[in-house]
Structure 1
Amino acid sequence: MSSTILFTTPPIATTNRSSLPPPSLAAATTTTKRHHPLPPDTLTLLIDKSKSVSQLLQIHASLIRHSLDQHPILNFKLQRSYSSLGLLNYSVLLFNRTHNPSVYFYTAIIHSHAVNSLHEQALEFYIQMLTHGVEPNEFTLSAVLKSCPLTPGQALHSQAVKFGFDSNTYVRTALLDVYARGGDVLSAQQLFDTMPEKSLVSLTAMITCYAKHGNVDSARLLFDGMVERDVVCWNVMIHGYTQHGRPNEALVLFRKMLTVKVKPNEVTLLSVLSACGQLGALESGKWVHSYIENNRIQVNVHLGTALIDMYSKCGSLDDARLVFDQIKDKDVVAWNSMIAGYAMHGFGQDALQLFNNMSPMRLHPTDITFIGILSACANAGLISEGWSFFHSMKDEYGIEPKIEHYGCMVNLLSRAGHLEEAYELVKKMKIDPDPVIWGTLLGACRLYGNIALGEEIVEFLVSQNLANSGTYILLSNIYAAAGNWDGVARVRSMMIDNGVQKEPGCSSIEVNNKVHEFLAGDLKHPKSNEIYMMLEEINGWLKAYGYTPQMDTVLQDIGHSEKQRSLEVHSEKLAIAFGLISTQPETTIKIVKNLRVLQFAFTSPIHPMYMGGEFQEI
């Protein structure tokens, strides 16, 4: 934490002190001045109670007519009231016409700019105050620190030390917030640990700091130790879980929040809907939607877009489109979300039609729009259309393609079997390809049996230190599909030598608003015995219908029966078996897989006695 940076910048005048008053008050200044019949205390009360600009302007004009425009308290009240009503320029005019403004005037004008995210202007007024020999108080420092960036915040920390306010609770909390938002977790923690009293605000700031930077467990430890919790700290904790890949814990915490009678707000619901989408937890998402409707919470464009995203990821496109059609004044983000929903489920023509419908709305497509459109082309195999949209991004809309757009094109070409064309595109990219693009190419090499290209790509990735666990697994799959077990063995040796571990596949299923997760060969579930009994029944049904497992991609060169067994205990099958023993006949079972970010629906017409449905990728 810095304690040596000093402010030496000369003051910057925002407005000249000789500036004229607001035009609407100019005429009032020519009126003969006399004492106002109302005492200052009454006028102060009138200013405080003013709820509109017109009322405030009338009072201000009256003060000018009666020579009270330089009254320190009335002037101060007017300045603050103009700011609260959004007339910050009027506040600045008043401030600049004030003779020898005190620390209170400076604090008010600094605060007005800070709350409007005008950080530079707030700092300029602070420097001006120091230059004129006005010493700040703790409220001045708290005001200028509000939403302040890290670097000037460090300099202000030195000012707090200089003026003896560094131990003040308000100043210390504001400094903690600066370090937390700026990513200086160590300095934030040092400040927090040395606080004699930890307020709700300071605790929330520290939880935010931990959660924002991925230390969700430390955030939860602080959260659980809080005596008092408001909706803000609940939101921070739920959002932390959602943002860092722990959506199940976000939903559990949300249910606990409702249990203790804390009313969620829009921020809460946005995070919870995101968690439902990550998990594919459709029933939980529908319950949240019902909660919104039952509590008459307005579905604005932000909540509506979150609902579209959730329903799309949970495989319910009809619900997503229903929400989309009901949103008034849809912005481009809402359109993007619906286009992406169609794209991820292979409804390419619907996505393209929706894109065409945007033009009459005078909405300018963004780079996100084209990610959705190019994904739709990839899923629908629309190669010529994909190239057309890719070129139109820059030529027609002035949008420079990003890594995601190149990834969509590589995916489009790879899925269509145009591997060499996809590889040429990657080599000609203006930006470095990421692991997702290389993984897409490798996956296509496995699908189309192109071992030579797969080996070339892996050699390049290893030489550039770009290989990850997925790289090795995909190459292993390529070798395994070709029966090249020596190649599989070499890859496994490379993984061991480089300390690479395969991320375990995890499948989840939602039953009765609770999400259950399974790993391959999992025995930890309380109903493991019943699950494996159902799994044996499933395998029997499949064999009866002539199903034979595809064993050519099993990574080990092992015996036939061992390969078959390894396929039978996949996490997806365990999740399906649990769904069959836990739901009523005719229930649609949705499975979410972590490694492929896919969902599968299985509907059994007469389950569990008849396995007549089929897997449907959604």
Structure 2
Amino acid sequence: MIRRALSSPFQLIHLLQACSASRALIQGKQVHRQIILSGLHQNPFFRTKLIQMYADCDDLNSAQILIHKMTQPNVFALTAFLGFYSRHRLTEECIRTYCQLRLMGIVPDSYVFPKVLRACAQSSCLDVGAQVHKDVIIFGSEVNIQVCNFIIDMYSKCGNTKSARQVFDEMSERDVLSWNSIISGYVGNWLFKQAVEMLGYMKLEGCEPDIVTWNTIMDAYCRMGLSNEAYKIFKQIKDPNVISWTTIISGYTSIGKHEIALEIFKDMVNSWTVLPDVDSLSSILVSCRHSRALERGKEIHGYGIKSIAQDTFYKSAGAALLTMYASCCRTRDAEKVFHIMDKSDVVTWNAMIFGFIELGLGHLALECFREMQMRGIKNDHTTISTVLPICDLRSGKQIHAYFMKSSFNFVIHVYNAIIHMYSICGCIAYAHSVFSAMLARDVVSWNTIIGGFGMHGLGQTSLELLQQMDGSCLRPDSVTLSSALSACSHSGLVDQGIELFYRMTKGFGITPVIAHYSCVVDMLARAGRLEDAYNFINKMHLKPDKHIWGALLAACQDHQNVTVGELAAEHLIRLEPHDAGHYVTLSNIYARAGRWDDAERIRKLMEDHGSLKPSGNSVIAP
């Protein structure tokens, strides 16, 4: 009866398509047997359909056997292989198959192009991607919206946003995916302002943003350090998904607003509409680590192992959990997590190394690194960049040499760690040599070398590097300006530093934050221009914090400026009335000026506020 039902070629095709769609390999093989019995297996159309079914069901071996029997493979059969390679991120095989397809003289279509373009994007293979783009034009697929969207994505992920934008601008018709592709392309290449601008153009063109658009714009704001702006977007989303919640939590975590991140996570849990996943749990555990919120961290740990499979939870969130426990000095808990995690996974060892560093046990971190090598666990770029900051010059040079011989020696953030290592070890010339040899740099690369020269009192070089960076494709960020201002402070370049501060907004589009104001105050104070520093503080657009007044008070003690010291101490005591240090510093200033009555008065005021530290009592009986 089954054979009668399968005797129709139309029915056989329909069943093959159903097997492909549901990836039912066993049933697909049964249909294949019936096709052989029906004598249709030599038919090129049926052979192609069988190849498609086997490829869709991930039985590549059977698909290859069938295609080798074809005298002239067609585009549909090869598309099935491209789909398999693309789906499994086998980018080299995908690109090679496309090249073979072209050598055979087979004309690619709009089903082929997205698959190979995705492979080019995943492997950052710009040369092949550009050739595929030419083929798209030659074979008339440039009017296909889906193909154009993949071209935009390919150029963006290969770092060529100019070509991506050109393709976008030349599209006769765009959909929401087109806009999302160009916006995410800008975000992926650190061009956050352009991404936000594209949102405005999108609305003007009448295209309604979807949840992906909003999440991407939120990510852009978060990466700019503007998490409050991201939160405004978040509040406008009618039904935020788990990515929305995770993005805003990560945004506040990245700028150190950990209490806010914890509150948002609490809102997420209480909303009952979205369940936290491993990514959101990993993000919030970072905030638990920085704010030492051990109890919250333990609650999240408990939630994770109850709601997510143990292997999945510890594989994704285990590293964040381990470092959280280490930061809270819960060594045994950290060790327990380490023992549960997969010892063959480099992420496990990276987390343990970082955990030891967090505990201030650099020697144990290095021992862990050596044990990892003895076990044959292959280091990755995270291992190298984590270990380098605790290395002395000798060890750092050895790791640098190892890195240059490794297969991942193109990773930018490892170069950044090497530059930092040489800078703090006093070898700024080596640091600059590494920086100069980099084929590609990110904002952190520039920030590290600018800060390195500043650390060594070479502020003029730091300013020259800032100018070079501004002329490159990368825009200086808030940290860059902090590094440059700090360099001016340490080098006595007061006038240049003041000029740089006042052109931050217009010249670089950066709104000064408290760290920038603090740099300027420190710069003026170091130079002995204490009245200028005080006047500058009074003109600040932000409320001065204890660090700014503290820097000024400390400088007043160094330069013995009683008048400004009194003013700075007054503000500090108002902010922290129970901190004995402020009273002591002002009392010492009075004493050095011979104003003994005032010194005694401040000591008495300190006692009245309960700030006087009690005298030590010996436990040894006289």
Letter in 1 for 2:38: H
* Contact 2:258-2:290 within 8 A present in 1 as well: yes
Q: Distance in 1 between matches of 2:481 and 2:330?
A: 41
Q: By how many angstroms is 1:588 displaced?
A: 1.9
Q: By how many angstroms is 1:490 displaced?
A: 4.0
* Contact 2:184-2:216 within 8 A present in 1 as well: yes
The reply to whether residue 503 of structure 1 matches residue 414 of structure 2 is: yes
The equivalent of 1:235 in structure 2 is 149
Match of 1:464 among 375, 398, 409: 375
Q: 1:317 and 1:446, CA in 2 relative to 1: closer, same or farther beyond 3 A?
A: same
- How many aligned residue pairs are there? 470
Match of 2:276 among 353, 358, 365: 365
Q: Distance in 1 between matches of 2:501 and 2:373?
A: 41
Q: By how many angstroms is 1:548 displaced?
A: 4.2
Instruction: Give the alignment of 1:339-418 within 5 angstroms.
Output: 339-357=249-267, 358-395=269-306, 401-416=313-328, 418=329
* Contact 1:179-1:187 within 8 A present in 2 as well: no
The 10-residue stretch of structure 1 (442-451 or 398-407) with the greater mean CA deviation from structure 2? 442-451
Q: Distance in 2 between matches of 1:157 and 1:540?
A: 60
Match of 1:489 among 383, 394, 414: 394
Match of 2:104 among 195, 202, 206: 195
Q: By how many angstroms is 1:379 displaced?
A: 3.2
Q: By how many angstroms is 1:290 displaced?
A: 1.9
Q: 1:320 and 1:543, CA in 2 relative to 1: closer, same or farther beyond 3 A?
A: closer
Q: 1:127 and 1:211, CA in 2 relative to 1: closer, same or farther beyond 3 A?
A: farther
After superposition, what is the alpha-carbon deviation per residue over 1:144-184, rounded to whole angstroms, capped at 9, x for unaligned?
A: 5447337535424543554x564334334444444554533
Q: Distance in 2 between matches of 1:359 and 1:540?
A: 44
Q: 1:424 and 1:379, CA in 2 relative to 1: closer, same or farther beyond 3 A?
A: same
The equivalent of 2:343 in structure 1 is 432
The 10-residue stretch of structure 1 (282-291 or 297-306) with the greater mean CA deviation from structure 2? 297-306
Letter in 2 for 1:236: F
Instruction: Give the alignment of 1:305-316 within 5 angstroms.
Output: 305-316=215-226
Q: 1:429 and 1:605, CA in 2 relative to 1: closer, same or farther beyond 3 A?
A: closer
Q: Secondary structure at the match of 2:343?
A: coil
After superposition, what is the alpha-carbon deviation per residue over 1:459-516, rounded to whole angstroms, capped at 9, x for unaligned?
A: 223323444566556555335xxxxxxx422441454367366833399xxxxxxx98
The reply to whether residue 149 of structure 1 matches residue 56 of structure 2 is: yes
Letter in 2 for 1:232: Q
The reply to whether residue 129 of structure 1 matches residue 39 of structure 2 is: no
Question: Structure 2 unaligned runs (5+)?
Answer: 420-441, 451-461, 525-535, 546-622
Match of 1:528 among 468, 485, 488: 468
After superposition, what is the alpha-carbon deviation per residue over 1:195-243, rounded to whole angstroms, capped at 9, x for unaligned?
A: 2132233454433344444534322333245424333333334434555
Instruction: Give the alignment of 1:292-311 within 5 angstroms.
Output: 292-311=202-221
The equivalent of 1:584 in structure 2 is 506
Q: Distance in 1 between matches of 2:401 and 2:178?
A: 43
Q: Distance in 1 between matches of 2:98 and 2:308?
A: 46
Q: 1:291 and 1:119, CA in 2 relative to 1: closer, same or farther beyond 3 A?
A: farther
Q: 1:142 and 1:343, CA in 2 relative to 1: closer, same or farther beyond 3 A?
A: farther
Q: Distance in 2 between matches of 1:137 and 1:530?
A: 64
Q: Distance in 1 between matches of 2:305 and 2:315?
A: 14
Q: By how many angstroms is 1:426 displaced?
A: 5.3
Letter in 2 for 1:528: Q
State, as a whole percentage, how many aligned pairs show the same letter: 13
Q: Secondary structure at the match of 2:342?
A: coil
Q: Secondary structure at the match of 2:250?
A: helix
Letter in 1 for 2:368: I
TM-score, reference length from structure 2: 0.60
Q: Which has the higher helix share?
A: 2
Instruction: Give the alignment of 1:320-331 within 5 angstroms.
Output: 320-331=230-241
Letter in 2 for 1:332: V
* Contact 2:196-2:220 within 8 A present in 1 as well: no
The answer to which structure, 1 or 2, has the higher relative contact order (CA under 8 A, 6+ apart) is 1
The equivalent of 1:44 in structure 2 is none
* Contact 1:285-1:311 within 8 A present in 2 as well: no
Q: By how many angstroms is 1:387 displaced?
A: 1.5
Q: 1:472 and 1:322, CA in 2 relative to 1: closer, same or farther beyond 3 A?
A: closer
* Contact 2:16-2:50 within 8 A present in 1 as well: yes
Q: By how many angstroms is 1:542 displaced?
A: 4.6
Q: Secondary structure at the match of 1:200?
A: coil
Q: 1:600 and 1:405, CA in 2 relative to 1: closer, same or farther beyond 3 A?
A: farther
Q: By how many angstroms is 1:136 displaced?
A: 6.7
Q: By how many angstroms is 1:525 displaced?
A: 8.8
The equivalent of 2:602 in structure 1 is none
Q: Distance in 2 between matches of 1:154 and 1:452?
A: 51
Question: Structure 1 unaligned runs (5+)?
Answer: 1-11, 18-95, 480-486, 508-514, 550-563, 566-572, 591-598
Q: By how many angstroms is 1:256 displaced?
A: 1.1
* Contact 2:466-2:484 within 8 A present in 1 as well: no
Q: Distance in 2 between matches of 1:361 and 1:452?
A: 45
Q: Distance in 2 between matches of 1:493 and 1:397?
A: 41
Q: Distance in 1 between matches of 2:202 and 2:25?
A: 36
Q: Distance in 1 between matches of 2:500 and 2:349?
A: 35
Instruction: Give the alignment of 1:261-272 within 5 angstroms.
Output: 261-272=171-182
Q: By how many angstroms is 1:286 displaced?
A: 0.9
Q: Which has the higher strand share?
A: 1
Q: 1:242 and 1:394, CA in 2 relative to 1: closer, same or farther beyond 3 A?
A: farther
Q: By how many angstroms is 1:382 displaced?
A: 0.8
The equivalent of 1:159 in structure 2 is 66
TM-score, reference length from structure 1: 0.60
Q: Distance in 1 between matches of 2:484 and 2:155?
A: 40
Q: 1:259 and 1:529, CA in 2 relative to 1: closer, same or farther beyond 3 A?
A: closer
